[in-house]
A and B are shown apart, each in its own frame.
Chain A
Amino acid sequence: MRFWSKTTKSARLGVSAGLLALALAATACGSSGGTSASSGASATPHAGGSLTVLEDSGYEGAWPAGLDPATNTSGAADQSYMDSIYGQLFELGSHGKIIPDMATGYAFSNGGKTVTIHIRPGMKFTDGTPFNAQAVVWNIQRDLKSPCTCKPTWPVSSVTAQGTDTVVINLKMVFAPIISSFIDSTANWIASPTALKKMGEKQFALTPVGAGPFIVVSDTLSSVLVLKRNPNYWQKGRPYLDKLTFKSVGGDEAAYEALLAGEAQVYENMSTPALLKQAAQHFTVVNQLSTSPYDLQLNTAIPPFNNIKAREAIYYATDIQPIVSHIFDNLYPLTQSFTAPGGICYQPKVPGYRTYDLAKAKALVKQLGGLTVNLGTINILVAKETTQALQTEWAKAGIKTTISSYDLGPLIQQFTGKKWQAMVQTAGAYDPAAGVGVGFRFSSLSPFSGVHDPRLDSLLNQASGTLDMSTRCKLYDQAAAYISQQAYGPFYFSFAPANIAAKGVIGPGLTSPLSSVVVTPNVPWEDVSNSGGSTG
């Protein structure tokens, strides 16, 4: 900086032209060296200051429907904003455990059909109205009635308040993952009923009111969200930051350069391996713990995968290790089931799982008289690169593959059209029975499943109806073994993006890994501090 201030304008332009050429060359050569991740320093949190967080405009950086829990269908992607504004009844803590937050605890009774949730007493929304059991019940009932599919998928018969601090949820049947599923449903975010009624739904979605650690200052949809500290937040001394700004930016490269320029301090969920390597040289890079492994869904209702030999050929023709090594720099652990390191019941190995065997794959393809596959996936980089690598590998076994990638709408149409053959997707969740869990991809009842097997349905239903965790995990082991035995779909690797933070920023998810909720982790921004500079 000092050097440049002494140069003349023309000299700057000349050097700029040189830099342009250098930068072009650097772009062409790609990244060099670097570690895959570096751990942040453990330091004492610093109260005050501000922080600017960048989010990819293609996913987390889009909140086009606003931030009302009942109507924001991008809730899973927008959890940073939602948590900051509303707080959470339960949160997924640093050690992969569900922790009561604005709730203080819960209990099952009536054989597991009644769940009693205790609400932290004395809290207030930022509009001054009480945050109590009545408000929680009002929100959950509103969520359940909402047409949004982000609503809780519990088998509820009633939700009532007992006194001011107790909520009672009666279920039609035992649903063991009910507490786990708070973290990936809208029921976790409690809006101020008074503010919502006063403003109306549309306005509330733009200027939401909760009891979370931060208060909305301004909200330009899918562009900039400015928050300030909630001085009356229930947890004394939190949040550390006085101001928190989220900015939507067009992709990993632009975000990385903005971080380098010092105009933001955090970028959530980077997934470009080459940039991760470079970022580790300048910033704290923390790879998160995955809960949703990539898998290959096979449509067993139509040819060619209604024939187990075709499915087996795919298992044998796939060597996932080189793909993870060469494309993803060994960032993600391999798995043979729908569980992952950040979730419960993690079991990466499945007995009898068919591993890479090119000779067997070729023999099966020969027996089938050839195998042609239409392989699809969602239109994101990791998934597309995986399909390209699979196409190359399968070709060695004589499998002819056509690959396609789809945006969300067309992808859903592929599933509802039921003509799809194979899809690279993610299957699994923190709790396999919650959210986009195993049932979402393998249950007969799901429109996004390629499997229609009553025995597997029964196993999955038994698991979700069992309160004892060790018994549940055994049932999921059995389900994973059954999926493998029937060759219903191979599992690949447990992908989770990384968070990038400037030096001086500390907090869970930024200097230590967190388990992912759905695909991305849930940074508790009230626990984040920044002792470095900020443009905030």
Chain B
Amino acid sequence: MAAEAGPAPAGRAVLGSPGLRLSGRRLLAAIPVLWGVTFLTFVLMNLLPGNAAQELLGANATPADVRALELKLHLNEPFWTRYWHWLSGVLHGDLGASLTSGQPVTSILAQRLPVSFELMIYAFCLSVLLAVPVAAAAAHRPGGWADRLSMMVSMAGLSIAPYVLALLLIFIFAVRLQVLPAIGFVPLGQSVVGNIKSLTLPALAIGLPLACFYTRLLRADMVEQMQGEDYVVTARAKGVAPWQVLIRHAMRNSMFGFLTVLGLNLGTLIGALVIIEPIFALPGIGQVLLQSIHDRDIVVVEAVVLVFALIVVLANLLTDLLYALLDPRIRYGRPAA
């Protein structure tokens, strides 16, 4: 892409790179998005009944006890003061400390995020690796046995709640077959195989419904490409094998919509962590988020939401950059040739 700008000093070439300019613009645009997310979260947490002081002190708390702790935690201060205090801390690189445990939020994130991040990547990869070949097999012969079977499995996968699916997977693979652990997490540093095994069922519980969704989407798009596009007719007329037309031409074109959905669906992936991590007793950030919402620990909730929002923004930016890789005609920042 930089070659189009002609000879230039290396530094200027990099800075002038359309991809980099796009990244810069998108990251700048992400600032109000991230701010909006944190603000809305703060508003929602404040709308919830109860507060951290009440939750910390428990059911026996007298109103005087609660008031005293509210003063200590600054929960008595006006909404805007508290939000500004939190926001200015973040702008200075300080995410604050948990209202419940007093632990710095950065150390909570450092301890929990790697587990969730690994699970997210694993679930994402599983969903894509399952969806793409199945969709291709289904689109190869619409109405054929592979298509009908994939349709049936996809519908079943989309109909089962993740919670039920998780329990079913445990029942089959941990209780009956005893090939994978039902609960717990093995750190990567302790055992690579153990780590993969400990995350396989949770990743399947998250990834399978997504794979079913992606399969239907990709299959429909590929069938449409195969049936109506001129380039497919041309390729066929040239004698290109049907599988090659499907994989090298139709699938490549279908990837645009697929990539967009992958980026947008990252939020679903993150949301599933909150449900799945406690079932599999994984010490991840989803479990912390759930507990913090329950405890009205607004500092931790804000930090986790901010990190998740940042991941979604970055993932969508990556998606946009991948468009250019898939289609060399796309040049960001310049009119299409």
Contact = CB atoms under 8 A, between A and B. Distances in A.
Interface in B104-149: 111
B56 interface: yes
A532 interface: no
A264 B173 CA distance: 16
Interface string B281-299: 1110001100110111100
Contacts of A407: 50, 294
Interface centre among B101, B173, B280, B296 (most CB of A within 10 A): B101
B179 to A, nearest CB: 8
Contact of B111 (A4, A201, A220, A409): A220
A346 B170 CA distance: 43
Nearest to A26: B171
Lowest 9 A-B CB distances belong to which pairs? Answer: A409-B50, A250-B278, A223-B283, A261-B174, A149-B60, A261-B182, A202-B102, A410-B49, A250-B279
Nearest to A62: B291
Contacts of B51: 409
A456 B28 CA distance: 67
Contacts of A321: none
Contact of B281 (A24, A258, A436): A258
Given A64-B100, A412-B61, A20 B279 contact: no
Given A147-B65, A263-B184, A254 B170 contact: yes
B164 to A, nearest CB: 7
B335 interface: no
Contact of B58 (A24, A57, A149, A413): A149
Contact of B63 (A24, A62, A416): A416
Given A27-B164, A64-B297, A150 B58 contact: yes
A261 B61 contact: no
A472 interface: no
9 contacts: A16-B172, A66-B101, A220-B111, A224-B184, A247-B281, A254-B182, A254-B183, A409-B296, A535-B184
Interface string B61-85: 1110100110010000000000000
B174 A19 contact: no
A261 B178 contact: yes
Given A12-B177, A221-B101, A258-B182, A408 B170 contact: no
Contact of A64 (B179, B184, B291): B291
Contacts of B59: 149, 408, 411-412, 436, 448
A258 B291 contact: no
Interface in B151-186: 164, 166-168, 170-179, 181-184
A1 interface: yes
Given A23-B168, A65-B100, A223-B281, A260 B175 contact: yes
A258 B169 CA distance: 12
**Do most interface residues of chain A lie in helix, strand or loop, or is the interface mixed?**
mixed
B46 interface: no
Interface centre among B65, B280, B295 (most CB of A within 10 A): B295
A285 interface: no
Nearest to B49: A410
Contacts of B102: 66, 201-202, 205
Interface string A223-250: 1100000000000000000000001111
Contacts of B279: 249-251, 254
Contacts of B294: 62, 407
A218 B2 CA distance: 52
A202 B174 CA distance: 38
Q: How large is the interface on B (under 10, 10 to 19, 20 to 34, 35 or more residues)?
A: 35 or more
Interface in B182-201: 182-184
B68 A410 contact: no
Interface in A52-69: 54, 57, 62, 64-66
Contacts of A23: 168, 171-172
A24 B296 CA distance: 36
B103 interface: yes
B206 to A, nearest CB: 14
B291 A222 contact: yes
Contact of B57 (A20, A27, A147, A262): A147
A535 B178 CA distance: 13
A20 B168 CA distance: 7
Interface in A252-303: 253-254, 257-258, 260-264
A220 B288 CA distance: 11
B79 to A, nearest CB: 18
A73 interface: yes
A257 B49 contact: no
A447 B184 CA distance: 41
B57 A257 contact: no
Given A73-B57, A149-B60, A19 B50 contact: no
Contacts of A222: 287-288, 291
B254 interface: no
Contacts of B168: 20, 23-24, 27
B54 interface: yes
A247 to B, nearest CB: 5
A430 B294 CA distance: 29
A73 B56 contact: yes
A249 B56 contact: no
Contacts of A4: 177-179
A258 B101 CA distance: 29
Nearest to B164: A27
Given A223-B283, A257-B170, A261-B178, 8 more contacts: A20-B168, A20-B172, A64-B295, A147-B68, A220-B283, A250-B281, A254-B281, A263-B183
A141 interface: no
A258 B181 CA distance: 8
Interface in B220-278: 277-278
A148 interface: yes
A65 B73 CA distance: 14
A383 interface: no
Interface centre among A220, A257, A262 (most CB of B within 10 A): A257
A246 to B, nearest CB: 10
Given A73-B56, A448-B59, A249 B291 contact: no
